[in-house]
Structure 1
Amino acid sequence: MLFSIFTSPYYTDIWSLINLINKKDEIVLLQNGILLAHKSICTNYTNTIYRDNIYLNRIKEKGVNVFALKDDVIARGMTQFISSHVIQITYSEFVKLTAKHQHYFAW
């Protein structure tokens, strides 16, 4: 099944979605949903470290592919902050992804 996430993970029950998905599923992030792909910033007095957020780590543990619409990433100025686990795609690649799946769930 293809899951599309349109809203920020901070304004929706993303844990319910994470509990629903399995290895056969794929996730595409659109609009404010791309915030799910944002790296967390951890700092101490000498270093700044960027790492995947808790939601994305749990999705990675499940072995689910995550895609983000490239235009939405660029529009939000997040290009340099997107996790390397997330594959950025074009609109035409998004169409191919939807055609690949029989079932679709908008979140």
Structure 2
Amino acid sequence: MSPKRGDDVAPPPVEGEWRLRFATNDAAKGWAALCTEAPGNARRCFEALRSDPLSTEIPDRQHRLRGRLATTSYGGRELPQWEYEVTAGGRVRYLVDVDRRTVYFVYASTRHPKDTDA
């Protein structure tokens, strides 16, 4: 998604930080909604993913998905898919590209995704 007038400016990664990018327009819109609804929690999510998207220190908040959701194809490559709980219902799903040190947001919403309910 190309930035346009009025959009927020994302700071560039520095000193070992990871680059955060949107994989879909829906993820960008969902992230904006999360930032409006829970700015403090969204900021903590941003900082956690920017510094260590593969952290397992708080598994209830940040964890790799399992089963059919464990990986997703992006840019012709299978990447591990993780989830960060921003609020009780709000989630960010992201793919981790270790080679490019990039995190791709594939889902962000103030509501829990339904695909894990089954």
Q: What range describes the TM-score normalised by the shorter chain of this pair? A: under 0.3
- Alignment TM-score, normalising by the size of structure 2: 0.23
Structure with the largest fraction of helix = 1
The structure, 1 or 2, with the larger RCO (C-alpha pairs under 8 Å, 6+ apart) is: 1
